[in-house]
């Protein structure tokens, strides 16, 4: 089998139905807007924040950029061709907020809610890097802020626009899985911890040499690259979680700081949805594998994403001849404005995330990954880490959807 191919076990789903599913546009999918409105936005964070394409949308202008570090400010200036550069969000907002519509927040996870609050208080819409929040208290705060202000919030979850996730979402909407009763969702981000701990230029340190948020960060506090593959496909909510964790004590002893009091490099959870379905969710930092991947199992069909280094052979043991497909190049279609029809980061998701946020503002609608979807992808991981710290105790997951 080709490494570019993925497979679908399709018991009663014929080839024609598969082709239809691959063409059908999903609800909330990013589509070009016909309005003449222009969105003026600022970008916070010259690391990951410089990897998006707001400036390529015909109806968006990057009007200001900011980062704490000079080299990242230069990167933002160069990428977005914006000379309106500031040293911090605190400096930027009082000077330019009246001329902005929105801010892209790509700071560290511990600052996401704080920075979103600063922007909301000045009447600005927000798109934020993942995760949406770090604590349950912050989840309540973010929900309250969004509902109170009436402003738009979107989380830039890359898995939502991964080609495999798009295909699974549209297949689910077409009924191709039947009842999708079990999913396996994974995020593996391995690193050489020995080198990272001792290397001041690694991601474990900030540019000024101080310890970054990544040292000893609990895996399940970064769950959205996994849970995006279930919440982003079925819109189900996780209502309970039980998790276990593992970590090498010798590695943790070398951390310069561990404010999280975390001892786990890898965490694995079994979760239940509000539809009574099962989800096995993994997030691992110390593993001989890499990337984001999911498998969906239904009574009529099952879909396995292919990822190099993880399960190199895709196989459905119930069938002798599973159907084999090649995923469409979603980015090379009218799902995106023409200037944005090119490959991009994280499975070509960056152009989609950029376009979806801008289109949602132009069309005055909720974005695909709004605050409720964002919290549904984030909070179960926070609870799962609590469970792992309690040796697998099954815990209820609080719900954050808007009540009628």
pLDDT digits 0-9 by tens, 324-364: 667 889 999 999 999 999 999 898 999 999 999 999 999 99
The pLDDT tens digits for 365-395 are 999 999 999 999 999 999 999 999 999 999 9
Average pLDDT of the chain to the nearest whole number:
86
Which CATH number do you get for residue 310? 3.30.360.10
> Is position 112 within any domain?
no
What are the pLDDT digits (tens) for 264-323?
999 999 999 999 999 999 999 988 888 889 999 998 888 888 765 444 334 443 445 566
Distance of CA 365 to the CA centre of its chain: 20
Does the residue 110 lie in any domain?
no
Q: How many domains does the chain have?
A: 1
Higher pLDDT, 258 or 5: 258
- Does residue 140 fall inside a structural domain? no
Residue 49 lies inside a defined structural domain of this protein: no
Q: What is the mean pLDDT of residues 213-220?
A: 92
pTM: 0.88
**2 with 325: CB under 8 angstroms?**
no
The domain containing residue 316 runs over which residues? 6-26+160-327+371-396
What distance in Å separates the CA atoms of residue 35 and residue 38, rounded to the nearest whole number?
9
**% of the chain surpassing 70 pLDDT:** 85
β-pair partners for 188: 284, 291
Residues present in the chain in total: 404
pLDDT in tens, 145-202: 999 999 999 999 999 999 999 999 998 998 888 899 999 999 998 766 666 777 777 7
In a domain, 12, yes or no: yes
Exposed e or buried b per residue across 226-240, where buried means at least 16 C-beta atoms within 10 angstroms of its C-beta: bbbbbbbbbbbbbbb
Q: What is the dihedral of CA 340, 39, 113, 109, to 10 degrees?
A: 20
In a domain, 339, yes or no: no
Q: What is the pLDDT of residue 404?
A: 42
For residues 394 and 242, is the Cβ–Cβ distance under 8 A? Answer: yes
Tell me if 333 is assigned to some domain. no
**Which regions of 45-171 does DSSP assign to beta strands (E)?**
60-66, 85-86, 102-105, 125-128, 153-155
Taking the CB of residue 61, how many other CB atoms lie within 10 A of it? 15
Structural domain includes residue 240 = yes
């Amino acid at each position: 089998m080709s490494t570019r191919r993925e497979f679908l076990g399709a018991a009663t789903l014929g080839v024609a139905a598969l082709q239809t599913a691959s063409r059908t546009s999903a609800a909330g999918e990013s589509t070009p807007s016909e309005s003449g409105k222009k969105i003026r936005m600022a970008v916070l964070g010259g690391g990951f924040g410089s990897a998006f394409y707001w400036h390529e949308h015909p109806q968006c202008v990057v009007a200001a950029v900011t980062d704490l570090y000079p080299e990242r400010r230069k990167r933002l200036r160069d990428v977005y061709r914006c000379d309106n550069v500031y040293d911090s969000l605190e400096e930027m907002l009082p000077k330019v907020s009246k001329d902005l519509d929105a801010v892209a927040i790509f700071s560290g996870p511990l600052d996401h809610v704080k920075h979103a609050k600063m922007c909301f208080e000045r009447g600005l819409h927000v798109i934020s890097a993942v995760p949406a929040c770090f604590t349950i208290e912050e989840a309540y705060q973010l929900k309250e802020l969004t509902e109170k202000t009436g402003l738009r919030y979107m989380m830039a979850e890359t898995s939502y626009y991964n080609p495999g996730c798009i295909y699974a979402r549209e297949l689910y909407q077409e009924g191709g899985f039947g009842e999708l009763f079990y999913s396996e969702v994974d995020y593996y981000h391995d690193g050489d911890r020995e080198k990272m701990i001792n290397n001041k230029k690694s991601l474990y340190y900030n540019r000024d040499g101080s310890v970054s948020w990544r040292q000893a960060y609990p895996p399940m506090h970064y769950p959205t690259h996994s849970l995006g593959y279930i919440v982003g496909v079925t819109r189900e909510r996780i209502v309970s979680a039980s998790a276990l964790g593992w970590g090498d004590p010798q590695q943790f002893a070398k951390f310069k700081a561990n404010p999280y009091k975390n001892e786990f490099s890898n965490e694995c959870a079994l979760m239940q949805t509000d539809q009574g379905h099962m989800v096995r969710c993994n997030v691992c930092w110390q593993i001989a594998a890499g990337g984001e991947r999911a498998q969906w199992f239904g009574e009529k069909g099952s879909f396995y994403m292919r990822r190099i280094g993880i399960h190199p052979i895709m196989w459905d043991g119930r069938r002798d001849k599973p159907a084999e497909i090649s995923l469409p190049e979603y980015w090379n279609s009218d799902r995106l404005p023409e200037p944005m029809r090119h490959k991009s980061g994280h499975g070509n998701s960056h152009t989609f995330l950029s376009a979806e946020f801008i289109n949602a503002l132009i069309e005055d609608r909720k974005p695909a990954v709004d605050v409720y979807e964002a919290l549904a992808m984030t909070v179960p991981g926070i609870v799962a880490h609590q469970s792992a710290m309690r040796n697998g105790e099954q815990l209820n997951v609080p719900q954050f959807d808007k009540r009628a």
